[in-house]
Amino acid sequence: MRRPVTYTRLFSDEAGESHLETATMTVAPEQFAPPAPPLDVSPTTRATEWRLLRFAPDWVGGWHCSPCRQWMFVMAGAATVRTSDGNQCDLKAGSICLLEDTRGKGHLTTILGGDEVLMVAVHLPDDAPAVSPC
């Protein structure tokens, strides 16, 4: 049975304003690591590289665009992301965010709670879909 996984998408429109939206990808049971039992797996998506990011407890990013299309997986800590349209969301451990605001006004990231934040950034090729079709 296919099931949705929710993530936050950060993108910019043609006028350069950044926005947030809730999006979903579908996972389905698959024999991923035989002989282990099946588990829910997303479609395969091409990536170009990945990096581990550690943010200091008092880090504030200032307004900036994402350096490339990338998935951000929050491993520890929490941060607020504010978009140029005035919306914001909190990302905490377990959150998934797709950053596609590579041009325009960008976004503002602020670390919350006085703890460092660990994230994994997975860079996507410009021409690849965020989630490949099955």
DSSP one-letter string for 57-91: TT-B--SB--SSSEEEEEEESEEEEEETTS-EEEE
Mean pLDDT of 16-32: 96
Instruction: Provide the CATH number for the domain around residue 110.
Output: 2.60.120.10
pLDDT of 132 above 60: no
62/132: higher pLDDT? 62
Residue 101 in domain: yes
Query: pLDDT of 53-83, one tens digit each?
Result: 999 999 999 999 999 999 999 999 999 999 9
Mean pLDDT of 14-26: 96
Residue 130 in domain: no
Residue 98 in domain: yes
CA distance 9 to 15: 17
Residue 129 in domain: no
Find all residues with CB under 8 Å of 69, minimum gap 6, and list them: 98, 99, 100, 102, 123, 124, 125, 126, 128, 130
Residue 94 in domain: yes
Overall pTM surpassing 0.85 (yes/no)? yes
C-alpha pair distances (Å), 68 with each of 8, 47, 75, 115: 16, 12, 20, 26
Residue 134 in domain: no
Give the residue numbers spanning the domain of 50. 3-30+39-123
The number of distinct structural domains making up the chain is 1
Instruction: Determine which helix (DSSP H) or strand (DSSP E) holds 131, and give its type and residue range.
Output: none
For CA atoms 46, 132, 124, 6, give the dihedral sign: negative
Residue 131 in domain: no
Mean pLDDT of 107-115: 96
Neighbours of 74 (CB within 10 A): 20
